[in-house]
Chain A
Amino acid sequence: MDQKRLKKRLFLNDLFKNLFSLSVVFALLVLGILFYRIIADSIGWLSIKFLTGNLSIFPEKAGIYGVMVGSVWLMSIVVPVTLILGVSTAIYLEEYAKKGNIQMLIKVNISNLASVPSVIFGLLGLAVFSRLFNLGSSILAGGLTMSLLVLPIVVVSSQEAIKAVPSYLREASYAMGADKWTTVRRVVLPVALPGILTGAILSLSRAIGETAPLVVLGIPALLLRVPTSVMDNFTALPIQIYYWTLDTVLTAEYANLAAATIVVLLLILFMMNSVAIVIRNKFEVKF
């Protein structure tokens, strides 16, 4: 009798173990199908001509050179702005701020800001950068909006990196007669740099794929001129994917263009993440 119950219990254990593992299998399967579908759709469309050509209303002539340039321009705003704002905020919180209300306020604020839907940042950008500062749908407006969106990621990862710098290194510096800024600049930041860069790349990969805030800013659908300054209007990879996907109703081939653009976007993300992993593994100091 007992033997039978034990058998049943063990059977249930194995059954549920396998059921649970199916969830993981399902998620991985979806990931596989997703990649497969996108690659399959892009085959025949992803070519040198596609990468170097300009946008066109004829699908077979369309290329995303200007779109990629737009994304690069966008990043040229996001990188310096988020790094300066994010790292400074992290330094302030970890090295300078006294424990108290202001420090708490900033910390709580950042964790809440991280969970604000991206479309809301779009509304902020629309009201403040586009209309109030009159930047319209320019690269600058898009870049600043995107910078604020990913700011919490950079702050939190920089904080982690700075926190991981052992306090005995700071002590060694102070004991040599270094002042606070010297200690931060010569000891803390160099040691924290790999962690900071890893976080910065992760935030960039978020920014480069983010769509909603840019759509809210009214980034135009079809733009034939390649941008040449931060005040120019622009389009970016995710925007172009969005409009092409919407327009598949009109022209089926747009789905292929969207898929090819997705492949480009995913490849860029993959490269960025690889760089982040290399930095983390190669340059991070272990204590």
Chain B
Amino acid sequence: MKEIELTNRINTTDKMVFDVKGLNLWYDQEQALRDINIGIEKNRVTAIIGPSGCGKSTFIKTLNRMVENIPSVRITGEILYHQQNIFDKAISVEELRTRVGMVFQKPNPFPKSIYENVVFGPKIHGIKDKNLLMEIAEISLKRAALWDEVKDRLKKNAIGLSGGQQQRLCIARALAVNPDILLMDEPTSALDPIATGKIEDLVLELKKDYTIVIVTHSMQQAARISDKTAFFLTGELLEYDETKKIFSNPQHKKTEDYVTGRFG
């Protein structure tokens, strides 16, 4: 069987990186996502907001197919990544995930050295050249705005870093395999305001080179850093528009109630 390859269109003029069409998802009998249609645009920050249990976290985890690690999951519909359905049987999940990086709610560095954390991805994907690995580590840590803080202790265990540093390390780790999309699942919910601010600045910096999808509980965060905002409610995409529009003049009453803090 010929492998269908994820086309290398990073430098194409494609405006959409993800085109989600008619996506439904069930955990056992319970439907968590209903007929989602959404296009994620290149080099923009898309915020996913909505009350707990609305499916926003599930949605972001379908974009790199992490959701399939849960045994009882069933999915219909398609997600086109540069016009290729990521659920296609011939698509390699591993390759998809090197293109679509992910940062989690709780910083989850491996209990290894800072260096080993960053080069984990390149190493498991077969890069052995020590100099190249070191170069990758430096570039990635610089991109994650962590280099200056850790350059003298790359061999120290990552568990010793502060929570905010750990989260930036996780960003560096995700960047080390050069994805073009970064999925962030409430990346600041476990951090203090100062560390949160640093991550937010970083997101704004990173969007020049990456497409970012960020799930957030914080309306202020969505308003501050995102270009587009999608509002999820009980598994449905209720509204999706420019962030400015969502926060100033939403179409739906429920969106307005939510962004103004009347429920959720």
Q: Mark out the residues of chain B between 68 and 115 whose CB falls within 8 Å of any chain A CB in the assembled complex.
A: 69, 71, 93-98, 101-102, 104, 106, 108-112
- Kindly state the separation between the CA atoms of A178 and B121 in the bound complex, as whole angstroms: 8
- Kindly state the separation between the CA atoms of A285 and B98 in the bound complex, as whole angstroms: 28
Does A60 count as interface, using CB distance less than 8 angstroms? no
User: In the complex the two chains form, is B93's CB within 8 Å of A177's CB?
Assistant: yes
User: In the complex the two chains form, is A175's CB within 8 Å of B94's CB?
Assistant: no
Stretch at the interface among A123-131, A166-174, A197-205, A235-243: A166-174
Does B165 count as interface, using CB distance less than 8 angstroms? no
CB within 8 Å for A175 and B102 given contacts A187-B110, A191-B111, A285-B159: yes
Stretch at the interface among B17-25, B32-40, B170-178, B211-219: B170-178
Q: Which residue of B lies closest to A182 (CB)?
A: B124
Does B125 count as interface, using CB distance less than 8 angstroms? yes
Does B140 count as interface, using CB distance less than 8 angstroms? no
User: In the complex the two chains form, is B95's CB within 8 Å of A177's CB?
Assistant: yes
Contacts of B106 in A (CB 8 A): 168
Does B120 count as interface, using CB distance less than 8 angstroms? yes
- Kindly state the separation between the CA atoms of A168 and B106 in the bound complex, as whole angstroms: 8
Contacts of A177 in B (CB 8 A): 93-98, 121, 124-125, 177
Does A176 count as interface, using CB distance less than 8 angstroms? yes
Interface residue count on the A side (C-beta < 8 Å) = 20
Contact of B71 among A98, A174, A175, A179 (CB under 8 A): A98
Contacts of B112 in A (CB 8 A): 190
User: In the complex the two chains form, is A171's CB within 8 Å of B66's CB?
Assistant: yes
User: In the complex the two chains form, is A176's CB within 8 Å of B173's CB?
Assistant: yes
Quote the shortest CB–CB distance from B233 to chain A (angstroms): 26
- Kindly state the separation between the CA atoms of A187 and B109 in the bound complex, as whole angstroms: 11
Main secondary structure of the interface of A (DSSP, over half): helix
Does B46 count as interface, using CB distance less than 8 angstroms? no
Q: Which residue of B lies closest to A285 (CB)?
A: B111
Contact of A186 among B69, B96, B120 (CB under 8 A): B120
Quote the shortest CB–CB distance from B238 to chain A (angstroms): 28
Give the most central of A178, A191, A287: most B CB within 10 Å.
Answer: A178
- Kindly state the separation between the CA atoms of A287 and B158 in the bound complex, as whole angstroms: 12
User: In the complex the two chains form, is A186's CB within 8 Å of B124's CB?
Assistant: yes
Contacts of A285 in B (CB 8 A): 111, 159
Give the most central of B64, B111, B177: most A CB within 10 Å.
Answer: B111
Q: Mark out the residues of chain A between 174 and 220 whose CB falls within 8 Å of any chain B CB in the assembled complex.
A: 174-179, 182, 186-187, 190-191
Give the most central of B98, B104, B108, B170: most A CB within 10 Å.
Answer: B108
Quote the shortest CB–CB distance from B113 to chain A (angstroms): 12
- Kindly state the separation between the CA atoms of A287 and B173 in the bound complex, as whole angstroms: 20
Q: Mark out the residues of chain A between 151 and 179 whose CB falls within 8 Å of any chain B CB in the assembled complex.
A: 166, 168-169, 171-179
User: In the complex the two chains form, is A175's CB within 8 Å of B93's CB?
Assistant: no
- Kindly state the separation between the CA atoms of A86 and B94 in the bound complex, as whole angstroms: 30
- Kindly state the separation between the CA atoms of A285 and B158 in the bound complex, as whole angstroms: 12
Quote the shortest CB–CB distance from B94 to chain A (angstroms): 4
Quote the shortest CB–CB distance from A188 to chain B (angstroms): 11
Contacts of A98 in B (CB 8 A): 71
User: In the complex the two chains form, is B97's CB within 8 Å of A174's CB?
Assistant: yes
Render B116-148 as a binary contact track against A, CB cut-off 8 A, 1 for contact: 000011001100000000000000000000000
Contacts of B110 in A (CB 8 A): 169, 172-173, 187, 191
Q: Which residue of A lies closest to B105 (CB)?
A: A168
Q: Which residue of A lies closest to B109 (CB)?
A: A172
- Kindly state the separation between the CA atoms of A169 and B159 in the bound complex, as whole angstroms: 12
CB within 8 Å for A179 and B108 given contacts A171-B66, A186-B124: no
User: In the complex the two chains form, is A176's CB within 8 Å of B174's CB?
Assistant: yes
Contacts of A168 in B (CB 8 A): 104, 106, 108
| Chain A residues at the B interface, C-beta cutoff of 8 Å | 98, 166, 168-169, 171-179, 182, 186-187, 190-191, 285, 287
Top 3 A-B residue pairs of the complex, sorted by shortest distance between their CB atoms: A177-B97, A175-B102, A177-B94
Supply 24 A–B pairs (Cβ within 8 Å), ascending by A.
Answer: A168-B106, A169-B108, A172-B104, A172-B173, A174-B69, A174-B97, A175-B101, A175-B104, A175-B174, A176-B101, A176-B120, A176-B121, A176-B173, A176-B177, A177-B93, A177-B94, A177-B97, A178-B94, A182-B124, A186-B120, A187-B110, A191-B111, A285-B111, A285-B159
